């Protein structure tokens, strides 16, 4: 494909490059001239491998949903599998073309493909000084209540020290337990460190600041504040990638199952015309270089 159109936001401290035609995803987040995200040399590579680059929006659900027919909120959801484990993962808008509006916001409409509710997702991204702010809003455009979740899925380059101020965790995102458990061992992320490989869980019961990252070799740190009716953070540290996923989102793993069975941290049930919002605010700073 030809080179995607880029929307570039800059300050003296930050550069953010957004690809409206590929899910309004953040192709590049650069602080003080240093890339913080796993960014392909060719932006078109996002289309070939949409799950493992940059930072993208997850909606109308986050993480995994079951493929095949299930009855939810009085309708049948029949999602196709789009991931190697046979699940329907990360929603429907991560690679779709979004429209750029006159006021600088972006939007995309969705529904169909096994999701029986029409919806819209609106995004507004700004850069001011050392802070990049991503405001996302999922709107139910159907005539009935819609299961709803929204999140952001960034891949931060290693080596990075990560702290998530969370007291509880669902240790597995695949086949997750009904209830979270207290953090312990490798799942205790309350002290900043380079995390072990092989984590793939979702953390809850967060305290502020929500997330902290540091790249000591580059002399850069970042804090992430998240605003939403409910905030959880999925973290994945696959050993085969040079990046870690740190995903603020509005529900727990297996969110549709949780709604179906009345379990904690389910997707929201959004009335017609109502919206679910998520704000992710990333602030960077220089820190002393490690030796």
Instruction: Name residues whose C-beta falls within 8 Å of residue 185's C-beta, 6 or more positions apart in sequence.
Output: none
- Cα separation, 161 vs 157, in Å, equals 10
The 3-state DSSP class for residue 260 equals helix
pLDDT surpasses 60 at 108: yes
Q: Which fold has domain 7-286?
A: Beta-galactosidase; Chain A, domain 5 (2.70.98)
- pLDDT for res 255: 98
pLDDT band at 22 (very low <50, low <70, confident <90, very high): very high
Residues 43-96 pLDDT 10s = 989 999 999 999 999 999 999 999 999 999 999 999 999 999 999 999 999 999
Between β-strands 88-89 and 99-100, what pairing exists: parallel, antiparallel or unpaired?
A: unpaired
Average pLDDT over residues 182-208: 95
- Cα separation, 13 vs 284, in Å, equals 8
Nearest to 111 by CA among 91, 131, 130: 91
Nearest to 100 by CA among 31, 9, 224: 9
pLDDT surpasses 80 at 2: no
- pLDDT for res 290: 59
Q: Is the pTM of this model over 0.95?
A: yes
- pLDDT for res 1: 59
Which sequence spans correspond to the domains of the chain?
7-286
Total length of the chain: 291
Average pLDDT over residues 131-141: 98
How far CA 262 is from CA of 115, 133, 159, 265, 266, in Å, comes to 20, 33, 39, 9, 8
């Amino acid at each position: 494909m030809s080179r995607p159109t880029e929307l570039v936001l800059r300050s003296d401290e930050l550069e953010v490059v957004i690809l409206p035609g590929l899910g309004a995803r953040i192709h590049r987040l650069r602080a003080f001239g240093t890339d913080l995200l796993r960014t392909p040399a060719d932006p078109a590579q996002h289309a070939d491998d949409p799950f493992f680059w940059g930072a993208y929006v997850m909606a109308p659900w986050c993480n995994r949903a079951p493929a095949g027919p299930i009855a939810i909120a009085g309708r049948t959801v029949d999602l196709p599998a789009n991931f190697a484990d046979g699940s329907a993962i990360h929603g429907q808008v991560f690679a779709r073309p979004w429209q750029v509006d006159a006021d600088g916001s972006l939007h995309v409409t969705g529904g169909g493909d096994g999701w029986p509710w029409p919806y819209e997702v609106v995004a507004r991204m700004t850069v001011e000084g050392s802070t990049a702010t991503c405001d996302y809003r999922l709107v139910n455009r159907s005539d009935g209540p819609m299961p709803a979740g929204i999140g952001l899925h960034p891949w931060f380059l290693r080596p990075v020290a990560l702290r998530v101020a969370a007291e509880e965790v669902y240790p597995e995102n695949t086949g997750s337990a009904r209830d979270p458990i207290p953090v312990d061992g490798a799942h205790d992320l309350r002290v900043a460190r380079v995390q072990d490989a092989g984590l793939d869980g979702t953390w809850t019961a967060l305290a502020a600041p929500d997330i902290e990252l540091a790249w000591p070799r580059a002399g850069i740190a970042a804090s992430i504040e998240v605003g939403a009716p409910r905030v959880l953070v999925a973290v994945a540290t696959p050993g085969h990638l040079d990046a870690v996923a740190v995903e603020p989102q509005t529900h727990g793993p297996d969110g549709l199952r949780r709604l179906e069975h009345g379990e904690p941290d389910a997707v929201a049930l959004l009335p017609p015309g109502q919206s679910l919002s998520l704000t992710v605010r990333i602030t960077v700073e220089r820190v002393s270089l490690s030796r």
